[in-house]
């Protein structure tokens, strides 16, 4: 039974990443009147491209169940922050990303949150903070096996010198 469940979870995970390859960013705001899906969050990157989780995002996944947090609340928390970013309310977004990181320390959206905080720091001229943030993202994600984590280690501003 455990093997069958593991196989089903694996198929769902593969399906998510195949779907990610055919997703396109959206310029439409996230609809918070209902639970926010992983797909909607991934598409919320607008012109910057898709957003990628670095952890398992399959509801209900063993990891999300283990965290004891609802992925829907994590999606909404991160979604609120990315929507503020998309409205160019960078200081508000920075704080909302900080709130998300504090409230959901195991969220699959931590790297995206920190990446955006690093961008805000760079835009505001806080270059040391930005560089440290990017370096931290690489350090945390370089040993993770998922595609999202790999994207962060290859596409980070620090990774490109």
Give pLDDT tens digits for 75-133.
999 999 999 999 999 999 999 999 999 999 989 999 999 999 999 999 999 999 999 99
Extract long-range pairs of 59-68: CB within 8 Å, 24+ residues apart.
61/9, 62/9, 63/106, 67/106
Among the residue ranges 8-17, 43-52, 65-74, the one predicted with the least confidence is 8-17
pTM: 0.73
For the chain, what are the domain ranges?
A: 2-155
Residue 74 near residue 87, CB atoms below 8 Å: no
Confidence of residue 64 (pLDDT cuts 50, 70, 90): very low
Percent of the chain with pLDDT over 70: 72
The rounded distance, in Å, linking the Cα atoms of 108 and 48 is: 19
Kindly tell me if the per-residue pLDDT of 66 is higher than 50. no
Predicted local distance difference test score (pLDDT) of residue 121: 96
pLDDT digits (tens, 9 = 90+) for 16-45: 554 555 677 788 899 988 888 888 888 898
The span from the CA of 129 to the CA of 24, in Å, is: 31
CATH code assigned to 2-155: 1.25.40
Tell which residue, 124, 115, 123, has the closest CA to residue 155: 115
């Amino acid at each position: 039974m455990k093997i069958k469940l593991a196989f089903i979870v694996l198929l769902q995970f593969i399906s998510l990443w195949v779907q990610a390859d055919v997703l396109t960013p959206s310029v439409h705001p996230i609809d918070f009147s209902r639970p926010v899906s992983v797909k909607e969050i991934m598409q919320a990157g607008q012109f910057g491209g898709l957003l990628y989780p670095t952890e398992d995002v399959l509801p209900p996944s063993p990891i999300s169940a283990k965290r004891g947090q609802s992925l829907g609340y994590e999606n909404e928390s991160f979604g609120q922050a990315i929507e503020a970013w998309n409205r160019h309310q960078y200081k508000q977004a920075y704080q909302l990303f900080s709130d998300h990181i504090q409230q959901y320390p195991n969220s699959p959206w931590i790297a995206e949150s920190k990446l955006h905080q690093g961008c805000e720091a760079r835009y505001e001229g806080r270059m040391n903070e930005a560089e440290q943030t990017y370096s931290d993202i690489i350090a945390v994600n370089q040993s993770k096996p998922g595609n999202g984590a790999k994207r962060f280690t290859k596409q980070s501003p620090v990774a490109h010198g």
